[in-house]
Structure 1
Amino acid sequence: MIAGCDLLPYRLALGQPWRSARGELAERRGWLVRIAAGDWTGFGDCAPLPTAGTEPPARAAAALAHWRTDLAGRSPEEALARLAADPMPAPAARCAIECALLDLLTQARGLPLRTWLAPGAADRVAVNAMLGGLGTIAPEAVAAACRAGFRVLKVKVGLAAPALELTRLTALAAALPPAVGLRLDANGAWDPTEAARFIDGVAALPIEAIEEPLRTPRVADLRALQARAPFPLALDESLHDPDLHAALVGDPGALPVRRLVLKPAAIGGLRATLVLAERAIAAGLEVIVTSLIESAAGLWPTVQLAAALPNQPPHGLATAAWLRRDLGEAPAVTGGAIALPERAGSGFRPSAETREAPPGQELGRELGQETG
């Protein structure tokens, strides 16, 4: 039975600002969820980010407090069932509680979380490098990513005039070795005319995909752009648009693009994301799983989920290096991939400071963070 559920607030500084057409982040704030039952302790991470499709922080805090009370004294299995049946609209909080419960449950059963999600899950997950905004990328960073074995480099675009960005992308592409592609993320920067011109301008470059090209994601416009593009267009935040969300949950094959980007914290958990991903893959779409630059407690279960999906392009999970410090050891990237351990649970192991923190203590400053 669940003996306790602690909510530990944290504030983790980024090593450099995370910039996109939707704004800028200098730190990540959230709550580490710690659930104990018997000899086991499970962890989850609630780091809401409304611009990415989650609930606001105040709603997340209320949902966490509600579920902490509701789950007390129940078995992990009963708690998971009650969580799934609760309609409260708080996907980041729901995901955090579910991850902690699944971490707890799979530790008790002696199974890696990915194997519980899918018996044939892989032990290695290919990931893309995240280089940041196009205008801030140094040639040394590109060379280092290629030497490290990454075959897909993700770049934020839509931050400057399209003509200037096309010039910068042409120069960047000229420096790439063979078989390395650029994954561009516009974060809804363009109108349909701007997006069409941009797609035409990069058609001859090694573009692996463009995510979120449109400021207003109309189905007809997206379909026309995908027909124009020689590479996949992908939807991420726009999947919360009513029309696109209806297609996602009803008929993924009717979506007007070739790729989906799924964030468990925005969808509401690993299990819900897995269901959507499997249906989309069956309909012929590609699926990428990405993080929200969460702490290691959130990144580990997301990597486990990615390992449960068959033969997809590199996932967006090499984000731990953006944090100056972390709440525990993050998944290591070697040769452009994350190798998952055989140990039971999600794989997250808290640092000594995190493990011993009393309920309510803010994490971050105690871990040497700059939290100002």
Structure 2
Amino acid sequence: MTDKETYFIRISDERRPGIYGIGECALFRGLSADDTPDYEDMLAQVCADISRQGLTAFVPSDSSSIRFGAESALADLRNGGRRLLWPGRWTRGEIAIPINGLIWMGSHDRMLARIDEKIEAGFRCIKLKIGGIRFDEELNLINHIRERYAPEELELRLDANGSFTPSDALCNLRALAPYGIHSIEQPIKAGQTEAMAEICRKSPIPVALDEELIGCRDTKSKIALLDSIKPQYIILKPSLCGGFAASEEWAALACERGIGWWATSALESDIGLNAIAQWCGSMNTKIPQGLGTGRLYVNNIASPLRQIGDGLRYDPEGVWELPEMEWK
């Protein structure tokens, strides 16, 4: 990827001139369930509905990224339009949200260099994307990590992005098990419910569902998915799995079943990342979250978000610098 298309929604109240809430409708082309040709029409309709109904407007649940953006903008406006959606200890700068260091796919040498950089920066939880190079090379890389850092020193999460097949998944997972892996996300492609359930039942490594959650909208479907697959973890990406209200429902249903969860950003700008981080802060999460800082972007929005070591912080003295945009 060299660029990412996104949309912003701004909501104001004529009774409070100069105050507005802003949210990011973080459409992820090729991955979002709402990646459809009429996306802008849906967004325009939601804006019209909010204008007509006010702060209690209903945002359609079948449009995940639009719901994510609208919920963010409405929460921002309700709290005075200061980009404080869920004010609390995190937004006051009192605590940091622990995050994992993400290692992108690449050559063996490049991935190894990136791992060393993350560890030197203070990370004690690393998420390694696998499936981009030969599996034996990846095993060699993981072995190298474990020769230097024991599991109690460094938590290692893997994300296969569906790169295993149902026939080779368990064999690969058994090969990975001796290295003290915390969990592996989406070992096979989403939509293979029976195969995934078998993998979760037999895997020596805890399995986390990620893409499997995308497009699963109603409560009945969520319950059916969790009860049939029985994963050890689920990964919540609010912009992809229904917004914040839907993510809270996912989290509650998971907790009822003894399933763990953490949240992950999905290449949002700092507008969207700020919303996810504040939501995480309000949920009192303890384990490392998958919250990137958007440093991939050369034109990200300047914000009070600060990455210090392996923690994401909010600087109360920091300033938002929102670009001038032509609003439709």
1:1-372 equivalences under 5 Å are: 25-37=1-13, 38=16, 39-56=18-35, 58-72=37-51, 74-76=53-55, 78-79=56-57, 82-83=58-59, 86=60, 89-107=62-80, 112-115=84-87, 123-133=95-105, 135=107, 137-176=110-149, 179-215=153-189, 217-240=191-214, 246=220, 248-249=222-223, 252=226, 254-329=228-303, 331-340=305-314, 350-352=320-322, 354=323, 356-359=324-327
Pair 330,230 (structure 1): closer, same or farther in 2 beyond 3 Å: farther
User: Mind listing any 5+ residue stretches in structure 2 that lack a counterpart?
Assistant: 89-93
The offset of 1:246, in angstroms, is: 4.8
Counterpart amino acid of residue 93 in structure 1: I
Task: Tell me the distance in 1 between the aligned counterparts of 2:238 and 2:229.
Answer: 19
2-structure distance, mates of 1:213, 1:312: 25
> Contact between 1:102 and 1:113, CA under 8 Å: does it hold in 2?
yes
Residue deviations 1:270-325 (CA, integer Å, cap 9, x gap): 12211221221232111111111011111100111112224443111124122223
Identity of aligned residues (%): 22
Give TM-score scaled by structure 1 length. 0.76
Distance in 1 (alpha carbons) for counterparts of 2:21 and 2:167: 49
Q: CA RMSD in A?
A: 3.0
Q: What's the CA shift for 1:127?
A: 0.9
Task: Point out the structure with the larger helix share.
Answer: 1
TM-score (norm 2): 0.85
Q: Aligned partners of 1:241, 1:274: CA distance in 2, in Å?
A: 16
Name structure 1 gaps, 5 residues minimum. Answer: 1-24, 117-121, 361-372
Evaluate the alpha carbon distance shift between residue 340 and residue 277 of structure 1 in structure 2; reply closer, same or farther with a 3 A threshold.
Answer: farther
How far 1:204 sits from its partner (Å)? 1.2
Q: Contact conserved, 1:129 with 1:154, CA < 8 A, in 2? A: yes
Higher relative contact order (CA 8 A, sep 6+): 1
CA distance in 2, matches of 1:232, 1:357: 45
Q: How many residues align?
A: 318
